[in-house]
Amino acid sequence: MADTALAHRLSKSRYLAGLQCHKQLWWRVHEPDAPELVPDVALRNRFAQGAEVDQRARGYVPGGELIDLPFYEFDNKVAATRDAIRHDPPVLYQPWFLADETYAGVDILTRGPRGYDVIEVKAANRLKPEHVPDVAVQVHVLRQSGLPVERAEVMHLNPECRHPDLSNLFVREDVTAAVEGVLVGLPDELAAQRRMLEGPLPDVAIGDHCTRPHDCPFLERCWPKLPDHHVSKLYRIERRQLLEYEADGYASMADLPTDLELSAIHARQVRAVRSGVMVVEPSLRAVLAKFSSPLAFLDFETVSLAIPRWPGCRPWQLVPVQFSCHAEERGRGLVHHEWIADGPDDPRLALAQALVEACAGARRVVAYYASFERDCIRHLKAAVPGLERELTRIEQRLVDLLPAIRNHVYHPDFGGSFSIKKTLPALVPGVSYSDLKIADGETATVELLRLMFEGATMPPDERAALRRALLAYCARDSWAMVKMLETLRTLVAEQLELF
């Protein structure tokens, strides 16, 4: 076989990429070293947790033989599988097959009385539509290899499972009927993908498929860069409305006709963009009255584990493991409290105790997007019932800074977003997240997992530096709220001076 034909062999993951978009598949095959294809820290974490789930799933379908070869040794894995099948094992883990110029690896293959059962393990809490073609391509390749497959299943995590009882960690769903439906058109699609790969880069228009079922890594190559203040940056604009504005030729918010009926937030955005300066509504003054001292400014960081490790937790549950709190304290001014988990043990009791102490003197507890902090506190109440009363008091005192800004202020530099990463530098010039080693929540989550579960084996300097970076990130979040509230109060005071 010619080298190019070998290089253009399909695989399960290539087929799924091609199903989303032929152009994406072409780039994946012809530019395998493209920078867009280097997995980021969040994706690497998902891969690692997915591998752990795969391995754990084998214990629920026991007695199998593992085809244990490196991921990239496709042909060796196919040969080893062929040898293993000869002695008819009841269960195989990670067998690989090649047929119809397509490789397919199977998570778990079991032999029944009339044929084989393909089991695809997913580190998700539910069956998703995109799982069906994933299983279908495996069934196709196995049948083309001569194996009678009679059943197809997706084995996913069970959101009802609670640690420490992991006996029901997985749910197995029969997807045979849905797979049989997909199989009808599958050989034609494989042939179309192979033909396409032999030719030049195909022309594919951008559309909804670029983000469904997954964000395409090549979005920046295909999607035009939008001008500042594009109408799509109108806060939570409905798709239908956006298409109407674009069809009418409006690109920037500033282009919109002055007599257009807009929501209060959109109208404020348009006013700010047209004038080029921040708009502050007089109504902000009444809202700020709720932020009565002494205040505590609170921010949590969480981790999320596919396989729960601490009592009461379900798969992928967000668990608070770090907080930062800047608290106004009588006679001491603003005092910074912080707590971070740095080992694998259940951190919630110690964290809850430190939290109760940090917020003890606060009349109001300020958060940014407070429903997240509320969920964290409720989780702690369930995990640490001995502190339920104290934690309830913190929950009852929560006050949200986000709607105070979103419903009363707009700065053109917000760029259509009210995330703290956008509002902080616009409201408090010179303060942002750009100087931090860890500068976003997703990275913080993954790095917290690394500190907790790998910290003991890290060189001490590296561990200390990671801990410092995580503390600095969380502290910036609570400090950001202190500084933004200061700015808002100044803006209100300046308005009062005008009258």
Binding site for ligand SF4 (CB under 6 A): 20-21, 23-24, 204, 206, 209-210, 216, 218-219, 222
Residue closer to ligand SF4, measured from CB, 226 or 277: 226
Q: Whole-angstrom Cα distance, residue 391 to residue 311? A: 19
Smaller CB distance to ligand SF4: residue 36 or 255? Answer: 36
Minimum gap (Å) between residue 30 Cβ and ligand SF4: 12
Which one, of 411, 407, 378, 410, lies nearest residue 395 by Cα? 378
HSE value, Cβ hemisphere, 13 Å, CA-based, for 425? 12
In whole angstroms, the minimum distance from the beta carbon of 475 to ligand SF4 comes to: 37
Contact 304, 319 (CB under 8 A): yes
* Integer Rg of the chain from CA: 27
CA neighbours closer than 13 Å in the CB half-sphere of residue 171: 13
Q: Count the Cβ atoms, other than its own, within 10 Å of residue 167.
A: 9
Which tokens in the block code for residue 35?
A: 């920078």
Tell the smallest beta-carbon distance from residue 206 to ligand SF4 (Å).
5
The candidate with the shortest Cα–Cα distance to 183, out of 112, 118, 126, is 118
Q: Would you say 209 or 463 has its CB closer to ligand SF4?
A: 209
Nearer to ligand SF4, 206 or 251 (CB): 206
Closer of 199 and 257 to ligand SF4 (Cβ): 199
Q: State the nearest-atom distance from the C-beta of 197 to ligand SF4, in Å.
A: 14
Least separation in angstroms between residue 471's CB and ligand SF4 is 38
Question: Shortest gap between Cβ of 246 and ligand SF4 (angstroms)?
Answer: 18
Helix orientation angle between 441-454 and 460-498, rounded to the nearest 10 degrees: 150
* 195 vs 437 by CB, closer to ligand SF4: 195
Phi and psi at 279, nearest 5°, equal -105, 125
The residue (of 221 and 290) whose beta carbon lies closer to ligand SF4 is: 221
Q: How far apart are the first and last CA of the chain?
A: 84
Q: How far is the CB of 216 from ligand SF4 (least distance, A)?
A: 3
CA distance 374 to 380: 10
Q: Which of 415, 411, 403, 439 is nearest to 427 (CA)?
A: 411
Q: Closer to ligand SF4 at the Cβ: 25 or 253?
A: 25
> CB–CB of 394/359 below 8 Å?
yes
